[in-house]
Chain A
């Protein structure tokens, strides 16, 4: 059983559309991170959220940490083909470890 559940697992949309990816858990996390991974590469950090209810914006990407610090969402406005990739959420667990969700594979078609 995955500690962090991401949905949807796959998402294929047209350029210009908006989308939201969810990361949910029954556990409370002290912080949560979002990474993006492109084929043949390792994941790269997009953002870290620490405070319950926190909202962070990174250009067209908006990240939200749930009030109870059990869930997070990533919203992309006006998606572009360059946004294509695997999006991973990760939560800090005991022993300074990061636990990852299974990822959301996003494809943005021109």
Chain B
């Protein structure tokens, strides 16, 4: 069964450093999402792509976060500089047109 791939699974970084996460959606899924999940809370959407275009980035802290999906397939989420409050699980999901989103295993970020 096809799955959403994410790497790395775990990342520890010092504050003020740059960090990047990678996501490879299920083949053929045009829509890709990045979520942030703080411990004890539900995921919150950071950015949504339709192919290579950003559809919604209203909750993305643009002063330090950036996301790209240059060829409309895999995607990278970057944080620069990282802050202590960025410690969270970063989840990637993808979907076809039927609104059902498939999630990857996530990247657990710890900022020290």
Task: Answer yes or no: are A and B bound together in one complex.
Answer: no
